[in-house]
Amino acid sequence: MQSWYQIFPKNPYVSIYIWIIFCILPLFYIFKSYSPSESFLGLLLVVAFFLTYRQSFISKGWLMYVWIAVQIAISITLIILFGYLYFSLFLAFFIGNIRNKAGFITMYVVHLVTTMVSVSIGFFTQYDLFVSQFPFILIGVIGVILLPFNSYNRNKQEKLEGQLENANKRISKLLVSQERQRIARDLHDTLGQKLSLIGLKSDLASKVIEKDPLRAKQELLDINHTARIALKEVRELVSNMRAGKLEEELLRVQQILKAAEIDFRVKGNPVLKDTPLLVENVLSMCLKEAVTNVVKHSQASFCHVLIKQTQTELFLQVQDNGIGFEKDRQFLDGNGLRGMKERLEFVNGHLEISGLDGTTLNIHVPHVILQSVKEDLS
């Protein structure tokens, strides 16, 4: 349950002033034209309302609903005796902050019915008073009808947004962990083998340097060549770790394909709207990996990229007219495809491959990462 000063989250300063006005107004109604005993009774009701209102915020479970019922009874009494309707707005905002759906609906119906009945009774018992302030009473009744739903839906949306943000943070942490595992695997598969080879050749060169200098020289040349290959692979590995926006990645892809003399076309808007940076980074890395394979293995003359963003998903397609993966088993068996699939799994995405006429990669990522929400008692 929110604190009383958080009921108007968009403009808290204005809300505080509104609450202050609503707190002072009942004194004007009570002391305007009533006897001392009636004024004293009205003052006690006002104090009792605020005390129970505070108790409602600090109470939980069934006790909270008891305090709401007491406030409704006080509000009905103030409406009938003094024509003061605005405490029902306090209740309307409070009821809108009840998170349990059944409790919200029950208290909303009870509050709405009792308010309408008490206003109707007031028109019969104090006709002149109620007619004189009819516009304000009408506004109050509209507030009782609409404000609870407005507050309830806003709080539910904020809760969902908070859960979505937490889910994205957890996914980001998992993605970092997965990237570390991938880097460790790539280092083991590439550098591990080459460093072992360098170690063996170094031992061999040291043993034959006196007996066979020419062979030792050849081993040293092999060590130099292997070290250069290892350095190149490290640079490629570091380059693959870099991730950015899809629009920036498309510019780099265009330069790569132009240098490879491959025709490049893009259809769709690369500027994604309302998309988490995590998702865009994953799409950028997948695009880079797909285009790299087009250049290395496809023997294609053109590469087309399609980007489509709908309300439900992000779609990225990379298509070429190369030899297809039926003849290019290196692409299917390599780390590139596996890396794309692993990245997409962390954003609930999936990869589809077609290799009948060239190679076509279809990447689907949900536009919003959904997480089940369970409503709880406030």
Residue spans of the domains in the chain: they are: 4-164, 243-370
Say what angle helices 12-32 and 87-96 make with each other, to 10 degrees: 150
Is pLDDT above 80 for 227?
A: yes
Residue 237 has pLDDT above 80, yes or no: no
- CA atoms 322, 324, 329, 330: torsion sign: positive
Higher-scoring residue by pLDDT: 1, 149: 149
Residue 74 pLDDT more than 70?
Answer: yes
pLDDT tens for each residue of 299-353: 888 899 999 988 888 999 999 988 876 544 555 555 467 778 888 887 888 898 8
**For residues 48 and 77, is the Cβ–Cβ distance under 8 A?**
no
Cα–Cα distances in angstroms (integers) from residue 225 to residues 194, 213, 218, 288, in the given order: 10, 18, 11, 28
Distance CA 165, CA 306 (A): 29
Positive or negative, the Cα torsion across 65, 67, 72, 73?
Answer: positive
pLDDT at 303: 92
pLDDT at residue 16, as a whole number: 57
- Tens digits of residue pLDDT in 29-43: 666 656 677 777 777
Tens-place pLDDT, residues 185-219: 767 766 776 777 788 888 888 888 888 888 888 88
Q: Which of 161-165, 187-191, 247-251, 290-294 is least confident?
A: 187-191
Residue 260 CA to residue 372 CA, distance in Å, equals: 47
The answer to whether the beta carbons of residues 160 and 361 sit under 8 Å apart is no
Neighbours of 224 (CB within 10 A): 12
Identify the band that residue 2 occupies on the pLDDT scale cut at 50, 70 and 90.
Answer: very low
| d(C-alpha 23, C-alpha 5), whole Å | 14
pTM here is 0.42
Label the pairing between strands 263-267 and 359-366: unpaired
pLDDT tens-digit readout, 94-138: 787 787 788 888 888 888 888 888 888 878 877 777 777 777 778
Beta-carbon contacts of 15 under 8 Å, excluding residues fewer than 6 positions away, are: 5, 7, 8
Instruction: Report pLDDT for 306.
Output: 93
Q: What is the DSSP string of 111-145?
A: HHHHHHHHHHHHHHHSHHHHHHTHHHHHHHHHHHH
The tokens of 345 are what? 């799994």
What whole-number percentage of the chain has pLDDT above 90? 5
Class of domain 243-370: alpha beta
For the stretch 240-269, pLDDT in tens is: 555 567 888 888 888 888 888 889 999 998
The CA distance from 364 to 367, in Å, is 9
